[in-house]
Amino acid sequence: MLVGYIRVSKSDGSQVLDLQKDALYKAGVEVDYMYEDLASGRKDDRPGLIACLKALQPGNTLVVWKLDRLGRDMKHLISVIDDLNHKKIGFKVLAGAGAEIDTTTANGRLVFGIFAALAEFERELIRERTQAGLAAARARGRKGGRPRKMDIQTLKMAMSAMSDRNSIAHEIAKRLGITTTTLYAYVNGDGTPKELGSKLLNKVDSNG
């Protein structure tokens, strides 16, 4: 059975949603088996996606219009599709850069394997940059005294470190010379900035 997922950003019009529905219906997805969200890719909760993933059964195929409709970022996308594979659920993309992905076919699995390899390469680069940044922070680190407050350089290293799913928050905070409370005040668990972090980034950008 084919199950579809549709997402339209809050800034988009309903016409985009209709376009996705039409494409999925043309691909064989019945309207009753389409799940949808009105949400941005990274920031908003997506109850439609959660319901969709729960509804999928072994032998089903999840169909999306484009890759960016499903994943918040490459790491999340690879994680979701890998989970589908383990549950013996197929995945198919109809348009855009990932249009050759169809994990129910040999060629589609090959294309997805290339995407997964690139994502792993990206994770390794982030990990290397993070370790280098943490080493530099330790080299110039402070001994004793109160933990320092968050600055832009520390924030960027914290965001990079937290984007690694294998990272441990209290270890990152210790290496950066801040408290875990301060870390979580500025950065989400997936490495995206919270309100305080966004304000600091925007303040730096506005100052040139």
- Mind telling me the catalytic residues? 9
59 contacts 32 by C-beta, under 8 angstroms: no
183 contacts 196 by C-beta, under 8 angstroms: no
**For residue 165, what is the enclosing H or E element?**
none
Amino acid letter for position 60: N
| Token digits of residue 72 | 């918040």
150 contacts 200 by C-beta, under 8 angstroms: yes
102 contacts 90 by C-beta, under 8 angstroms: yes
Mode of pairing for the β-strands spanning 2-8 and 61-64: parallel
